[in-house]
Amino acid sequence: MCGNNMSVPLLAEAVTVSGTEKETAAVIFLHGLGDSGHGWADTMTAIRLPHVKYICPHAITSSEHGSVCFCRFDLMGLSPDSPEDEAGIKRAAENIKAIIDHEVKNGIPANRVMLGGFSQGGALSLYTALTCQQQLAGVVALSCWLPLHKSFPQAASTSGNRDMPILQCHGEMDPMIPVQFGAMTAEKLKVIVNPQKITFRTYPGLMHSSCPQEMAAVKEFIEKQLPRI
């Protein structure tokens, strides 16, 4: 089973940006609603480090109400009090944990694996890391929120990531996930993990997207948390 991508559903079709030397670390980066792994694979290629493998899975397509939606879990609303797809979020997190386990089996320790994502993908990366028993290298959370936020900090009681560094970035003009939601998420994270490990950066004029300054911060964060060994 070791090395067999077909045993991990999200890995079978994932876009992987390989390192240019021996890979000693991995970044699993999750896209947002309606996107695919290709766009973020291109972005990761532009900031990649030679010893890091970047894995950009495509969300599993599911059928809801007779139509096909391209998502990891259903979004029922984009406000702090909106109902949430708890079962879908937990199922999606288990799929991401399966990728982490796969990388560990293939020689990259969990503490050399970083999760990241944009929008819904960022939300899932936060939830997965905070409920993961393995100690991870960190999380890059772009333009997102913490799913099932009312279940924390209790949901993180068995987490190995109470001291995990988190880089959270948000556009100040985001019309989909207002920057206030990002700020509320950062405050919530400070009661779940070591508050000194939380970095929250905002970008003037940036909408629900990324920008070169943000990606420079992401590259710097990855370099710091996943140095060459």
Annotated catalytic residues are 119, 174, 208
The pair of three-digit structure tokens given for residue 54, joined into one six-digit string: 């970047």
Phi, psi of 71 (to 5 degrees): -155, 160
Whole-angstrom distance, CA of residue 52 vs CA of residue 194: 26
Secondary structure element (H or E) that encloses residue 86, with its range: helix 86-105
Secondary structure element (H or E) that encloses residue 101, with its range: helix 86-105
Cβ within 8 Å of residue 131, ≥6 positions away:
93, 155, 156, 159
Tell me: cis bond preceding 153? Omega within 30 of 0 counts. Answer: yes
Q: How many CA atoms lie within 13 A of 174 on its CB side?
A: 25
Whole-angstrom distance, CA of residue 40 vs CA of residue 55: 10
